[in-house]
Amino acid sequence: MQRSLSLAALVFSLSACTARTGATPTPIPASLEAPSAVASSPTLPQPEAAATQPAPVGEPPASQAAEIPGAEGLILRGVFYPAPGPSAPGVLLLHMYGGSKADWDELAQALQGAGFAALAIDLRGHGETGGTEDWALARQDVAAAYAWLATHEGVDGARVGVVGASIGANLALVQGAEDASVAAIGLLSPGIDYFRVVIDGLIEEYGDRPSFLAASEEDAYSAETVRALAASALAEAELAIYTGAGHGTAMLENEPDLTVRLIAFLARWLIPEN
């Protein structure tokens, strides 16, 4: 697939899928605050957006409800956004604490428009999935959802990434560290320890695969975390630091540039050039 769309053209094409700037940032929930701070790491330079972008494709198919068997018999409720073409790259989307699969709708539609398939799920204890919060079992749920997407008809299982926000970002890195088939990860506002889902040292276990790391400066715990992860990464780690953008998926609403950069990153690693 050609990746020749200019950055300006991609910004225009995604504008319908991005929300207004300047919205009130969403603070990190008190229940996510970690017991200790992350060791400070030097500020890394913020990379420029990729010069090449995914080419636009045809009208995306309608989204579909998905039911995925999770750990201990719980059915995970999700929504699948099919790609417009066959053998497409896929992206698993994991929401933040207190959120739901609906938080990803605009990004998922933008991903479809760039040629991706996407799957957003409600984590256990959230949304239509229901059940009781259990972050140890949630790791197994994420693995099950990833396998569902990677083996879905029309998805190229060798080109699947995971994007998460807040606790979803921690779960995305866990999945990447434990499954060598994960081709790329995008972490929005991760923290070294959310609900005992500890990611210290996991970026090294993730190894020589690329990562996209984003946080807002005033969200200090997450900002320090992404800088520490970038400093420890063994492969390319694109760092996106904003100001006043809020926490997790709120950044997608407050900073449309984030959607553009995230999709450009995923396209660069999951959509091969002809």
Q: Can you read off the two tokens belonging to residue 26?
A: 């969403």
Contacts of 16 (CB under 8 A, 6+ apart): none
Residue ranges in the chain whose pLDDT is less than 50: 1-56
The answer to whether 205 touches 233, Cβ cutoff 8 Å, is no
The answer to whether 118 touches 111, Cβ cutoff 8 Å, is yes
Q: Which helix (H) or strand (E) holds 258?
A: helix 256-270
How far apart CA 68 and CA 73 sit, in angstroms, is 10
Q: What are phi and psi of 217, to 5 degrees?
A: -55, -40
How far apart CA 141 and CA 73 sit, in angstroms, is 10
Which domains, ranges and CATH numbers included, belong to the chain? 67-270 (3.40.50.1820)
Chain segment 188-205, per-residue pLDDT in tens: 999 999 999 999 999 999
How far apart CA 15 and CA 22 sit, in angstroms, is 15
The confidence score (pLDDT) of residue 227 equals 98
The confidence score (pLDDT) of residue 233 equals 98
The confidence score (pLDDT) of residue 49 equals 37
Give the single-character DSSP code of 151.
T
Contacts of 253 (CB under 8 A, 6+ apart): 18, 19, 20, 23, 246
The answer to whether 103 touches 95, Cβ cutoff 8 Å, is yes
